[in-house]
Structure 1
Amino acid sequence: TNGAHVVVVAVPIIGPQSESLGTMAGMFRVGATSVSALYASIVKLRLEQEGVAYIVDGHGRVIYGTGGQHIGENFSDHEAVQNVLSGHDGSLRTRDRAGTVILASYAPVPGTNWGLVREEDWDALLASSISYRRFLLLLLALGVAVPALVVTLGVRRITQPIQDLIRAAQEVAGGHFGRSISAPTGDEIEELAEQFNAMSAQLEASYAQLEQKVTDRTRELATLNAIAEVVSQSLDLRQVLNAALDKTIELTQVEAGAAYCRVERGALQRVCVRGLPADVADRLALIEGAHNGEDAHPTVRRAADYLQDDVREALQQEAFHAIVGIPLVSRGQVLGAILLAECSERDFEADELTLLASIGQQIGVAVENAQLYERAEQAAAAAERSRLARDLHDAVTQTLFSASLIAEVLPRLWARNPDEGHRRLEELRQLTRGALAEMRTLLLELRPSALDEAQLGDLLRQLGESITGRARVPVYVTSQGHCDVPSEVKVALYRIAQEALNNVAKHSGAHEARIGLHCSESGVRIEIADDGCGFDMERIPINRLGLNIMRERAESAGATLEIDSAPGEGTRVHVHWAAP
């Protein structure tokens, strides 16, 4: 009635039939100093235990405040009040009217449009929960650290063996075989480690075997190279077998041996012996020769296995334990053998026998080369003897026969006709000089070094005299200057002149021939000319009359050759060698 603010509480009156009989209303004064049943009920709620609490009506006006504060004030602009009047409950961090940071909790009062708001100091709240926060942070740290530690240990348990495996694989790749690792994980990684260790052990064993094979192969190649070196130093059969036997004994480290070559009917003939009695070596040749004829592989026979008493006793007396037979093979043929005598009870492995077979083949090739060279020498000697016999028959023999006929009739011819006798005597002199020149030419062929020692002019004059004596064609030789030319050039020029004069004697029908030699510092010129029948250069093939041979000799000496001829006009051969 006096304009004071009150709170009206109305309670409906309901009849027995749920009809409304009226309303009972009570008014409570709103104020900090007011005493009423309403405030007594609110005080009983003990809202002021913590912080500040207040109740606002539907307009945001405070109708109750802790300690009577703010009663009657309008808090409608307060965010928490706005939320609660909107029918929401909850809390938010905000500031009070004094600007202090607070936590405002709010909730509507059921059955009314009022709202309850409680404000608590934010720092005070945090102070009470700081110990819990530390505890929570500790729990959080443990929650992060423990799983991380577990994961780290688990990952390391998995990755450490893998890293060990990688490092071990890298070492194996670098050549450190035999590397092993331990991974007691009880799973696939442990099985993988065991497989890796097995592989590494196999690689180590394989590498050791490979190194041994390389060492053995290097030793074998060195042995064969040493054998090849000594047997290639000569083409004399005896020297080859002597050197081969000495080197084989040295390389195989045996005490004695003998070398044989195969002769007629397949028998072995002793060429050389080392440390064995000669009679024992010969008896062994008879025994082993038959075996090597059938078996082209190295054999090892113990001394006690020989059926021949004398051989067995001789070997045992010399303390030889075994005889190793090495056939000398070339192109599938046994050309000889080397027998090695071993004193120790040594077992020859398959690899050693293979090496001995290779040694036998190496020496066999050298023996074959020596035999071929010897046969070639014999064939060359036979051919040279045949050529000399033919030259003697064609030249010297005929000349001497003519000279002997003239000598027989000369006394009677001289008595009847001195002038004819004098002419025949001159002819006899020319024949004898020609025969002497032919003999000297043949001696030059037998001793080629004489061509190097003689002067080129003397050689040409000797050729002229030999043609004069053989073909009765006078050959006039003129020489100018001193010829100092290399040996190979002098021989080539001599052979060209010899071929040209042979053509004069055989084909030209000339009455005379001339040789002109001109030597100077710039070179050598030779001209061979005759007054014979000549020939057509276009109709005579190059391989006729020795023309091709003369051209080849000139080219080999670095000289030029020119041939000028025509039918009925004779032939002229020009050779020019220019000094370098």
Structure 2
Amino acid sequence: MPMKAQIPPNDTTDKLQRRNRELFILHQIAEALNREVNLDEALQTALAQVAELFGLNTGWIFLYDSDNRQPYLAAAQNLPPALAEDSCLLMEGTCYCLDSHAGGGLSRKERLNVITCSRLKYLMDGTNGLRYHASIPLEAQHRPLGLLNVASAESNWWRSSNESLHLLHTVGDLLSIAIERAYLFGQSTQLGVIEERNRLAREIHDTLAQSLTGIALRLETIDAMLEAGADPNQVRDAVQQGLRLTQSTLEEARRSVLDLRAAPLAGRNLVEALMLLISEYERQSDQPQITLNVVGGNRPLPVRLEMGLYRIAQEGLNNIAQHAGAAQVEIELAITPEQVRLTIEDDGRGFDPTDVPTGHFGLIGLNERIKLLGGRLILESSPGAGVRIEVTIPLQEQERDR
């Protein structure tokens, strides 16, 4: 009987564990960028996590001033003494990498841009052995936002694998989204468009929240599979699904931030979008069975209202996935000539509505979205009895704003 080729278990397990760790840190970076209000703090946190992910002990981020387009140092991690001491003038002004980026000379995705650092090349002391750095462009709609530079004193560190190259540019995409979001917040405040700023904040939160929850659940599944000694091919499939979900999250976030469009509803009506959302949740392991009941026909609604209802349903399912431990979820969409009513009910563990933690972002965002739609929220729950939320929105004013 012929012998079957055996895959070395240690090599396979190490690779899967490394991929699982990469997914986990990408999730942490995205979550930190989405959580932090202050851009400088968010970038500093992300730099520390990039150093952990890639084993690169030095990094810094240049951003272009939105008014005069001049570069400035926005965040730094473990700069060599020659560049760090006394807020060194060597970190001010332009340089080769910034000039190349501004002139369109840095490749966006195809390769790692390893550059001789013009700020270090003529120095004799205080460089910690650094001469080169990799530059990852930070851009929005092909508009330069800045540069992420990373480096290490180890020899040949820049000979990164395609996987590492992809991850570096993925981190760059996450940073670009956070930077563009901060700029849009600033612009909206200056123009006095407070409602639009809050809508954008909720849009970004809602877009990332559902997918980040999916990534976290996928990582928990992979960890359990590794602990149980599962078939490496099954674990590899789970890792690939996590990577695809990460890419999908970036694409949707990019559309929401840069195009400001309702991507999930593109080419679909509200009921079709809700059915797709439900099927995405049910494909994840350990998720409840979800039923959708539509009352009053599938009549078209104003786009703003459809998008708001979709995000309310998404936030509700996100909260159920994170907190409820439910086996069944029922969603009902009822439309009459006077109003639309969305009800989401689960049979999970429930909670005391009078004891919700202060600043619970999910409930705050839900209430703000409903208020902007001119609607009313009824929330019913008690420990051990599940949760029921009912959102009612009058249609007359919505129709006038169509």
TM-score interval, smaller chain: 0.3 to 0.5
Structure with greater Cα Rg: 1
Query: What is the TM-score normalised by the length of structure 1?
Result: 0.29
Query: What is the TM-score normalised by the length of structure 2?
Result: 0.40
Higher relative contact order (CA 8 A, sep 6+): 2
